[in-house]
Structures are given as structure tokens and as C-alpha cells.
Amino acid sequence: MSVSERKRAAIARAALTLFASDGYERTSVDAIAAEAGVSKRTVYSHYGDKENLFLSVVRETYDAMLARIAEIVERTAWDRDLLSALTSCVSAVTRSIVRAPERSTLVRLLMTEAPHFPALIDMLHTREIAPLLAAPLAELTAAGRLSAPDPRQAAEQLSALTFGQVSSRSLMGTVPLTEDETARLLSGGVQVFLRAYQTAG
């Protein structure tokens, strides 16, 4: 990573933290620069202005999480039994994303600032987890292992039964769950999903 890339990453981390803790209006570019250990001029050279910095940091953080989810989905061994494959996938996503500190920070930020930034709502509508899960579910349906005529809807339901349960029980990541409790929620969610979608064969 180059010096410029390291500075940009430091600015993004500082901005995400300060925007989430102090809010968009109360967070100054001076404070972000100080937190990141760079000059104010460096912040502007990378992001232009405060609003663009805010939108870029949210988008980049969200996209980085989606990229990690895509990698997990791609490396899941879908040819083994479905209970093991789905449990392995949602467990890895939960460890990497759902319980990640930046996710809870991002969730809090979106909840407080989205009403003031319609662009954030548009971003969430075009960047979702469901399409990443829908692809293997469609392939499993084509192979006759699942019966999911609408893979996108099935993916949304799988997410709700697994990640949604963990997020709800942990209050969006603010209350730590034990490994056993997390595993119980994920296993139960996958089993309910398979009862609805797994074919008799």
C-alpha cells in the first residue's frame, strides 16, 4: 500500500468513527484530519469536500463488507450437504461482517443520517447481500437440490432467518452474543430455511 493509499485509509477510518460518534453536522474536517494524523489539505485533496467525504466513506465501507461476503459465498463448498454448506456460509459471514465493529458503526450512522442524505437510501437499494446469496441458491435450484423459483426472495428470507436474527438479538451488534448463542440462531435459521426450500430428493 502506497503512502497516499495509507493516508486515504486513515482518513476513511477517522471519518467513519467521528461521523458515527458526533454526527455529520458536528464533525469538522479539522477534527477528521487530526484524528487521521494528516493535514486538512490532504483530506480535501482525497475527497474534495465534507459531503463527498461522508458519502464516499459510507460507500467504501459498505462495498468492502459486500466484497468480503462475495468472497465467502464463492469459496463455500456448495457441493456438500446443504445444511453444512449453508451453515458454514452464514457462520463465516457472521464472523466476518455481522459482528464486525465497522458494521455496527455503519448501521448507527445510516440510521441517524440517512434521512438527510437520500443518496444513502439509493446506495442501500443498489448494494445488497441478497443478490450475492441468490446466485448459489439459483444454481442449487437448477440442480434440483432446492426448490426456490425466486432465488432473490429465498436469499432475503435466508438473510432474515440468520443474519437478521443475530442482528436483532445483538441490537445491531451493540450487545455481544456468545458463540453458542450465535451458533444456535444461525443453525435454527438454516434449518427453517431448508424445511421451506429443500427438495425431497
Give 78's DSSP letter.
T
State how far the Cα of 141 lies from the Cα of 118, in Å rounded to an integer.
36
Confidence of residue 99 (pLDDT cuts 50, 70, 90): low
pLDDT, position 122: 76
Region of poorest pLDDT, from 81-85, 102-106, 139-143, 197-201: 102-106
Mean pLDDT in residue range 174-201:
91
pLDDT, position 107: 76
Domains parsed from the chain with CATH numbers = 1-48 (1.10.10.60), 58-197 (1.10.357.10)
**pLDDT digits 0-9 by tens, 109-158:** 877 887 888 877 777 766 788 899 999 999 999 999 999 999 999 999 99
State how far the Cα of 179 lies from the Cα of 154, in Å rounded to an integer.
26
Q: Pick the residue with more confidence: 171 or 62?
A: 62
pLDDT, position 116: 83
Cβ-contact 73, 135 below 8 angstroms: yes
**pLDDT digits 0-9 by tens, 25-34:** 999 999 999 9
Q: 3-class SS at 117?
A: coil
Percent of the chain with pLDDT over 70: 95
Cβ-contact 97, 69 below 8 angstroms: yes
**pLDDT digits 0-9 by tens, 6-56:** 999 999 999 998 998 898 999 999 999 999 999 999 999 999 999 999 999
Beta strands in the chain (DSSP E): none
State how far the Cα of 31 lies from the Cα of 1, in Å rounded to an integer.
24
Query: Is the pLDDT score of 172 beyond 80?
Result: no
Mean pLDDT in residue range 89-113:
81
